[in-house]
Structure 1
Amino acid sequence: MMKKLIVFSMVAVAAIVMSACGNKQGTNDYVYASSTDTTAFDKHSQEYISQRIDTIYSYKNDSLCCSLSFLRLDSEAQELSEKDGTIYRDFDHWVMGQDIDPEWRYELDQVNSISDSAATVTLTIHNYADQKVILDLVFERDDWYVDNFHSFYEGSDYDEDGNTIPDTDGIKELDERAEILKYIDKQQ
């Protein structure tokens, strides 16, 4: 009998303690998702896109960082290249060169033109010299991915045989997506 009284007393004390620790305002103990601060998670903000560029350049990996359409084009060009033994890209678009300067670095200059599905980012990449680069980003798979690389260099234009075309000196833009498409068209 004494054991039953002790057990009953312990259960009663536990019930009192539990009710005393409960919600004193008579409101629900859960938070609606719409009431939370989502500014830290706004993937269309300049701050988030800047952080995403840092993540992308920490990997410098096409399969992790490029859009699905860019990966499909790149894969098609690689397959054609392997079939006929040609080289369609002779530089690394992440570092903007064939070799990597031990002091390689990039600096995010500006995040531009943010929409629901696209943005552009201007960078300066230092690989033995500073080079302006513009990345076209697309929002897919719930994040931003590189859809194209635009690099700028000083030099001349060349014909199909590799000869310099006279009077074409100046700043040139290399649109990588356009170059891949040209390569694919030429190989088919």
Structure 2
Amino acid sequence: VAFDLHEAMLREHQRQRALVNGQWPLLQGDMRHLPFANAEFDLVTAGWALGHFCGWYGDNWQVEMHHVLTEMRRVVQPGGQVIIMETLSTGSLEPRPPTPELARYYAWLEGDWGFQRRELQTDYQFATPEDAVAHAEFFFGPELAAAIRANGWARLPEWTGFWRWQAPASS
């Protein structure tokens, strides 16, 4: 099941799903109120989504994200896992949160919610540095484009964080 708040993202998911002849359902809704039964899934994931709460909800992000994490834990089966994927930087040779807000969020996941973090280098490979600039500047902005040019990067460094929480097994 794929679940997203935004219709445009679901349309893109539908397009991507068709490329692999996928058949899974696509549902629109709010992650703070998941329309699923308790313990319905053995794996629940969120990719590059929760970090937006830091900007959307300002000082109230923890309250709103608490609802999401509680819902994710509610719908995962005993012994199942919740995995959250977020950026740990683009254009950096070392993994690190790209903003102070995301640093606080990541520390909160680990300290308050017991998530364990793993880091994976997920670089973008382009034919040339010019190709890298052409593809990356639109999304990441002129500052990163300047770094690509200055470093002559055809391979744009990127890091992704994976935060994992495992539900206790039933007794």
TM range (shorter): under 0.3
Instruction: From the CA coordinates, give the structure whose radius of gyration is larger.
Output: 1
Which has the bigger relative contact order, CA under 8 A and spacing at least 6? 2
TM-score (norm: length of structure 1)? 0.21
